């Protein structure tokens, strides 16, 4: 029960963070594409910037966890997939997807 409660809490916290992060992300995109978009422009912004690394790593972590916990709820309701083993699997899946995003953020920081 407490595990289920904590997954729920994690989904709400990540949702709150995503709401802000998506807004920041969109505003950044709109500002960035004015006057054309190039890899050099992006890297100029992100390379060596701890702030952007932290933001995108957090964004990826939140999105990965949030989506996996959400899909877990849908799978439970529509497919009857329930149980502790599956919960751990969803958590692993969420962290794995998050890791791809974090690796990309690291790439932009370290490039």
Partner 1 sequence: MDRLTVRIWRGDAAGGAFAAYEVAARENQTVLDVVSEIQREQEPALAYRFACRVGMCGSCAMEVNGRARWTCRTHVRRVARPGEALTLRPLPHLPVIRDLATDMAPFFDKWARAMGSFQPKDAPDGAVPEDFAVVPPGSKARREADAGIECIGCGVCHASCDVVAWNPDYLGPAALNRAWTLVNDVRDGAQAARLAAVSGDAGCHSCHSTQSCTERCPKGLDPSSAIAGLKRRLFWDALLGRRG
**Would you tell me which residues interact with ligand HEM (CB under 6 A)?**
15, 18-19, 22, 63, 66-67, 70-71, 73-74
Beta carbon nearer to ligand HEM, 48 or 92: 92
Collect all residues with Cβ–Cβ distance below 8 Å to 8 and sequence separation of at least 6. 69
Structure tokens at 2: 């407490």
Beta carbon nearer to partner 1, 7 or 21: 7
Residue 8 interacting partner from ligand HEM, partner 1, none (CB closer than 5 to 8 Å by kind): partner 1
Reduced to 3 states, what is the DSSP secondary structure of residue 1? coil
Asked if residues 69 and 90 have their Cβ atoms less than 8 Å apart, the reply is: yes
Answer yes or no whether residue 100 interacts with partner 1 by CB under 8 A: no
């Amino acid at each position: 029960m407490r595990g289920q409660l904590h997954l729920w809490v994690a989904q709400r916290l990540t949702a709150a963070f995503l709401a802000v992060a998506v807004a920041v992300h969109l505003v950044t995109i709109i500002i960035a594409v004015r006057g054309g978009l190039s890899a050099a422009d992006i890297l100029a912004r992100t390379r060596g910037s701890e702030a952007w690394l932290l933001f995108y790593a957090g964004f990826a972590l939140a999105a990965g966890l949030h989506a996996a916990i959400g899909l877990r709820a849908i799978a439970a309701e529509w497919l009857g997939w329930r149980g502790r083993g599956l919960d751990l699997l969803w958590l692993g899946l969420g962290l794995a997807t998050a890791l791809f995003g974090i690796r990309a953020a690291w790439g932009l920081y370290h490039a």
